[in-house]
Amino acid sequence: MNKKPLEIEYKFLIEMPDLKILEAQPEFRAKKLCQMYLELPCGFSEFGTRCRIRKTEEQNTKAYCKTFKKDVTGITRIEVEEEISADEFEKLSKFLRKGTAPVEKTRYTFFYEGHTCEVDVFPFWQDKAFLEIEVENEKVVPHIPPFINVIKDVSTDIAYRNSVLAQRIFQGTL
């Protein structure tokens, strides 16, 4: 049986959280991310596939990956991710999608009520951030930690995708 790797994720636009409260949460981690969205050959992007490369820095350790994503529903995507070398990351970065810029952020990860929560803080926003919570299936609705103030659920709003932020960074419209 060929099972597709699925990512089922809720995404919320939130008020900037108190980082000290995040740091006090179970299994807290912080890492710096730089991700770029790449041009795809004809035949791929026309069918909704997106490609991203990402550099992760955590406690002086760097890791690199390449990810392909394709929407299945509003909150479910097929996600294929593989680790790549620093050299491959540099080579692929030359294929940055036209009209986009790299997206830099700090990701704060912690565990809450059975789910991993990821808070993404961007250098261009002082008052808001994203909260992402991955779930097992679309019937699961995660609980929001009480110390997080949700502005709105943006799980199905493509205007809040990081790939769209990459365009807005390039355009200077954030």
Question: Number of C-alpha atoms within 13 angstroms, CB side, residue 162?
Answer: 24
One CATH from 2.30.40.10, 2.40.320.10, 1.10.730.10, 3.30.565.10 for 6-171: 2.40.320.10
pLDDT at residue 2, rounded to an integer: 46
Inter-residue contact 6 to 76 (CB < 8 Å): yes
Question: In which residue ranges of the chain is pLDDT below 50?
Answer: 1-2
b (16+ CB within 10 A) / e for 103-119: bebbbbbbebeebebbb
Separation of alpha carbons 134 and 8, rounded Å: 6
What pLDDT shows up at residue 1?
41
* pLDDT over 90 percentage in the chain: 90
Q: How far apart are CA 116 and CA 44, in angstroms?
A: 31
The pLDDT value recorded for residue 46 is: 56
- Report the SS3 class of residue 114: coil
Which residue from 104, 106, 105, 118 is spatially nearest to 27, judged by alpha carbons?
A: 118
